[in-house]
A and B are shown apart, each in its own frame.
Chain A
Amino acid sequence: MVSGLINANPVVYEKKERRVRSASDYVDEYAVEPIDQQEVFDILSASLILMPVNLTIVIVRYTVMIFERSIRDIKDPEHPYSLEELKVITEDAIEVNDERSYVRVTFTPTVEHCSMATVIGLCLRVKLMRSLPSRYKVDIRVAPGTHATEAAVNKQLNDKERVAAALENPNLVDMVDECLAPTYG
């Protein structure tokens, strides 16, 4: 259960070429720049490039811990690719409305029964919670039709009481922090 890959042969997509942000000659450092889709995508993708690797290691380690297996059984991380390359997140799936202080991220788990969906979703929420101004309302959803327990995953990810309780669980916080660790630095 732990030794086998959840998705042994993922489809890997080319990384989208980044738009170069236009830098104007005069930069008003006091100007309030609205947050846009690309910025949120950059927060998530730049930060999550290394995430799947860490995520996998952490989840395997966590699962191993649960099943009291030896840590020596850990094989290579599942995929050395980024969430972007696996199309878990695309720029198009991020809806931003700065005026209404609203962000909606729709992510696509790599397989229908991907057990990582809740953890990926929790990491996305924590990353946005720590990166965006507090006035933002964030909805995180699994893309329609991509997950067997879509409604249950969505409900859990958007129940702030459950998220708050989860983030007081030291094991879960360690896991999320480890997943996001390479993204701060």
Chain B
Amino acid sequence: MEFFDDGDYELREIQKLEGHTDRVWCLSWNPKTGINGVPPIIASCSGDKTIRIWEQSGPSQSWRCKAVLEETHTRTVRSCAWSLCGKFLATGSFDATTAIWENVGGDYECVSTLEGHENEVKSVSWNECGNMLATCSRDKSVWIWEVLPGNEFECVTVLQGHTQDVKMVQWHPRMDIVFSCSYDNTIKVWWSEDAESENWECCQTIGESNNGHSSTVWALSFNVEGDKMVSCSDDLTLKIWEANTLRMESGDGYAPWSHVCTLSGYHDRTIFSVHWSREGIIASGAADDAIRLFVESKDDSIDGPSYKMLLKKEKAHDMDVNSVQWNPVDHRLLASGSDDGTIKIWELASTSTEMTEASTESTASTASTEKKA
């Protein structure tokens, strides 16, 4: 992990992508693009019921919409996620279905539609191997699907436990553990101890009583090592969690997550999205139209890790920021999607000292990093 000094960076807007006619809810970079001469690709989904595929190409290296996937979902498309192989895109919609799209020579075909949730599907996530998919819904459940040959999907289990709608579901980056966060203010961790992944159960519930959030938890993300997690909430805070995942990977049973610190006072409206880059930078996007970046601070390592704001980008969009996603290949690239219907591609760039002071000064006086008790 690189070490970031105070105020040497800025977010430069590279391009604004316009085309959606309603709010942009979610973005996903195709992990197999942007390398080996393959132009980078990002998918976006929207309240306009469509998914758009954008590609950076041509002599100008500008971003263009390559495909609009429509007439499959009949309501808002809330979530999209590429499989690790970059061949499949899963999309979850308020129409209660999840669609699987296959990239066939640049054309996208809907090869499967997963039905089962009672109402709005709010999030979809592939596991690291790409052989399992998790979905969650306002029906309070999390479904785990197994990918079978011939684009068949079989529901392995339905996980019940949340008392309100489940906002996001996310696989751990190294192990088959599922994390879900909810309108019921909790994060739940689901795991199957046996190798066949048949007996899924809730191993841990992180709520307000154990340093968790006091309102809806909207999103979570992991660092590249998978031993730390960040969550964001309607309670206007970001929380960092850690677990001894090495112990768990060596087969030593479930390793519980514990609270490291709470970042509060940075955003003044609901934080909808958080994403941890492979270089260790946490990006957050919120209803205050702003994007914030945080890094681990080395100043205060006696009590364990603490985090500081690297920079803030006020007015990143004209309206709420719903999704922030770091490019998995080019670590300087960040994409954001907003209620204003646009997607912006940003570059994290070094800047001169003079410029730095203007763009990163005045960490709000109320802002604080609260250490664990």
A residues with a Cβ closer than 8 A to B are 134-135, 137, 155, 159-162, 164-165, 168
B-chain residues with CB within 8 Å of residue A164 when the two chains form the complex: 23, 47, 76, 94
Q: In chain B between 11 and 45, which residues have their CB closer than 8 angstroms to a CB of chain A?
A: 23
The reply to whether A168 and B75 contact each other, CB–CB distance below 8 Å, is yes
Q: In chain B between 112 and 135, which residues have their CB closer than 8 angstroms to a CB of chain A?
A: 119-120, 122
The reply to whether A161 and B340 contact each other, CB–CB distance below 8 Å, is no
The reply to whether B76 and A137 contact each other, CB–CB distance below 8 Å, is no
The reply to whether A134 and B167 contact each other, CB–CB distance below 8 Å, is no
The reply to whether A165 and B138 contact each other, CB–CB distance below 8 Å, is yes
Residue among A159, A161, A162, A165 with the highest chain B CB neighbour number at 10 A: A161
Given A161-B122, A162-B138, 19 new contacts (CB under 8 A): A134-B339, A134-B340, A135-B318, A135-B319, A137-B287, A155-B183, A155-B215, A155-B216, A159-B183, A160-B320, A160-B339, A161-B78, A162-B165, A162-B183, A164-B23, A164-B47, A164-B76, A165-B94, A168-B75
The reply to whether B320 and A134 contact each other, CB–CB distance below 8 Å, is no
Q: Is B269 an interface residue when CB atoms closer than 8 A count as contact? A: yes
A162 to B339, CA, bound (A): 15
- Tell me whether chain B's interface is mostly helix, strand or loop, or mixed: loop
Chain A nearest CB, measured from B243 CB (Å): 28
B-chain residues with CB within 8 Å of residue A160 when the two chains form the complex: 287, 320, 339
A-chain residues with CB within 8 Å of residue B165 when the two chains form the complex: 162
A10 to B146, CA, bound (A): 57
A164 to B340, CA, bound (A): 14
Contact A159 to B216, CB < 8 A, known contacts A135-B318, A137-B269: yes
The reply to whether A161 and B215 contact each other, CB–CB distance below 8 Å, is no
A-chain residues with CB within 8 Å of residue B318 when the two chains form the complex: 134-135
A134 to B342, CA, bound (A): 14
The reply to whether A161 and B319 contact each other, CB–CB distance below 8 Å, is no
Contact A168 to B269, CB < 8 A, known contacts A134-B319, A155-B216, A159-B216: no
A51 to B75, CA, bound (A): 29
A-chain residues with CB within 8 Å of residue B138 when the two chains form the complex: 162, 165
A168 to B95, CA, bound (A): 10
A-chain residues with CB within 8 Å of residue B23 when the two chains form the complex: 164
A-chain residues with CB within 8 Å of residue B75 when the two chains form the complex: 168
B-chain residues with CB within 8 Å of residue A162 when the two chains form the complex: 138, 165, 183
Chain B nearest CB, measured from A136 CB (Å): 9
* Among candidates A137, A155, A168, residue contacting B94 with C-beta atoms closer than 8 Å: A168
List the 5 shortest-distance A-B pairs measured between CB atoms, nearest first: A168-B75, A165-B120, A165-B94, A168-B94, A134-B319
Q: In chain B between 247 and 293, which residues have their CB closer than 8 angstroms to a CB of chain A?
A: 269, 287
The reply to whether B167 and A161 contact each other, CB–CB distance below 8 Å, is yes
The reply to whether B319 and A165 contact each other, CB–CB distance below 8 Å, is no
Chain A nearest CB, measured from B73 CB (Å): 11
B-chain residues with CB within 8 Å of residue A165 when the two chains form the complex: 76, 94, 119-120, 138
B-chain residues with CB within 8 Å of residue A134 when the two chains form the complex: 318-319, 339-340
Which residue of chain B has its CB nearest to the CB of A156?
B183
A134 to B340, CA, bound (A): 8
A141 to B138, CA, bound (A): 23
Chain B nearest CB, measured from A71 CB (Å): 27
A8 to B167, CA, bound (A): 40
Please list 22 pairs of residues, one from A and one from B, whose beta carbons are closer than 8 Å in the complex, sorted by A's number: A134-B319, A134-B340, A135-B318, A137-B269, A137-B287, A155-B215, A159-B216, A159-B234, A160-B287, A160-B320, A160-B339, A161-B78, A161-B122, A162-B165, A162-B183, A164-B23, A164-B47, A164-B76, A164-B94, A165-B94, A165-B119, A165-B120
A-chain residues with CB within 8 Å of residue B215 when the two chains form the complex: 155
Which residue of chain A has its CB nearest to the CB of B183?
A159
A137 to B215, CA, bound (A): 19
B-chain residues with CB within 8 Å of residue A161 when the two chains form the complex: 78, 122, 167
A41 to B234, CA, bound (A): 27
